[in-house]
């Protein structure tokens, strides 16, 4: 009917430190929504498949060196190059589960000492998430989980700084989930929050832009 044609999908973002369980939880959410019959896509940033994404990937693998502000802007550009696709997906009724977004962009760069307002500026005008699920974990515990993979930011002292930066960005769209709980418990909490958000968007909640 005409009402369902107009209803949009929800923009759901998962955030947290490296090894907090975001990626597993994102795919679990994706599968369960799909199982319920929703139209849903699973995205992640950085999207390493684009030209910009390949530059980011080689930086993260320590194969290239880049100035801190340069890599910051590349991460942001990587979101901008997906923005129109993101908007058309959402407007056509598809919910997006997105593993990392602008909050990672700001938290990781600010943890290097860059000014937070400078870091936020290029994100302005990207779509604002309807829900940010922050998987909260102690940096020490994350570090113990199967070890880091050896990418550039996977170091305990740095992750501690990132976690402080993240928590300064909390706003009304954030839900903080204790990611030290068993995976199934985390999944249940996330699912309930996501279903609520999807419902609100179907009922006509407008899309908005960063930063509120
Ligand atoms: P990934 O492990 O989720 O693929 O993310 C790669 C790393 O990039 C991770 O350490 C977080 C970092 N990152 C940023 O520094 N800025 C960003 O905008 C994003 C999306 C990720």
Instruction: Give pLDDT, residue 91.
Output: 98
Q: Please indicate whether residue 38, judged by its CB atom, sits closer than 6 Å to ligand 1.
A: no
CB-CB neighbours of 204 under 10 Å: 10
Quick check: pTM over 0.80?
yes
Report yes or no for ipTM above 0.90: yes
- 60 closest CA partner among 104, 120, 16: 104
Tens-place pLDDT, residues 132-171: 999 999 999 999 987 788 899 999 999 999 999 999 999 9
Q: Could you tell me the CA-to-CA distances from 113 to 69, 110, 158 in Å, in that order?
A: 11, 5, 11
Instruction: Give pLDDT, residue 212.
Output: 79
Instruction: Give pLDDT, residue 146.
Output: 77
Q: Is residue 4's pLDDT more than 60?
A: no
Work out the average pLDDT over 22-33.
98
SS3 97: strand
What's the token pair of residue 114?
């860059």
What's the gap in Å between 78 CA and the centre of ligand 1? Answer: 11
Please provide the size of the chain in residues: 212
Q: Could you tell me the CA-to-CA distances from 13 to 16, 68, 74, 151 in Å, in that order?
A: 10, 24, 20, 22
Q: Please indicate whether residue 163, judged by its CB atom, sits closer than 6 Å to ligand 1.
A: no
Please tell me the residue having the least CA distance from ligand 1 atom 10. Answer: 153
What's the token pair of residue 52?
């910009």
CB-CB neighbours of 36 under 10 Å: 11
Q: Specify the DSSP class assigned to residue 211.
A: -
Tens-place pLDDT, residues 34-46: 999 999 999 999 9
How far is the C-alpha of 108 from the C-alpha of 88, rounded, in Å?
28
CA 17 to chain centre: 11
Continuous H helices in 92-212: 102-110, 116-120, 139-144, 156-167, 183-202
Model confidence at 5, pLDDT cuts 50, 70, 90, reads low
Instruction: Give pLDDT, residue 3.
Output: 47
Mutate to test the pocket of ligand 1, among 15, 21, 62, 100 (most ligand atoms within 8 A of CB): 100
Tens-place pLDDT, residues 70-118: 999 999 999 999 999 999 999 999 999 999 999 999 999 999 999 999 9
Work out the average pLDDT over 15-24.
96
Work out the average pLDDT over 189-209.
98
What's the gap in Å between 39 CA and the centre of ligand 1? Answer: 26
């Amino acid at each position: 009917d005409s009402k369902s044609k107009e209803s949009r999908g929800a923009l759901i973002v998962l955030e947290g430190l490296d090894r907090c369980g975001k990626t597993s939880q994102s795919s679990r959410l994706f599968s369960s929504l799909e199982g319920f019959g929703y139209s849903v896509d699973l995205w992640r940033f950085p999207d390493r498949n684009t030209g910009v994404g390949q530059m980011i990937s080689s930086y993260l693998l320590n194969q290239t060196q880049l100035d801190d502000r340069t890599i910051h802007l590349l991460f942001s550009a990587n979101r901008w190059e997906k923005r129109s696709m993101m908007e058309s997906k959402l407007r056509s009724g598809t919910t997006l589960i997105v593993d990392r977004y602008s909050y990672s962009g700001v938290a990781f760069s600010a943890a290097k000492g860059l000014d937070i307002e400078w870091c936020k500026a290029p994100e302005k005008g990207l779509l604002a998430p309807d829900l940010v699920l922050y998987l909260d974990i102690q940096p020490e515990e994350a570090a113990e989980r199967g070890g880091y993979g050896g990418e550039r930011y996977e170091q305990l002292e740095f992750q501690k700084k990132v976690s402080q930066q993240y928590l300064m960005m909390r706003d009304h769209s954030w839900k903080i989930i204790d990611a030290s709980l068993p995976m199934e418990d985390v999944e249940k909490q996330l699912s309930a929050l996501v279903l609520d958000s999807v419902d609100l968007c179907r009922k006509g909640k407008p899309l908005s832009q960063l930063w509120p």
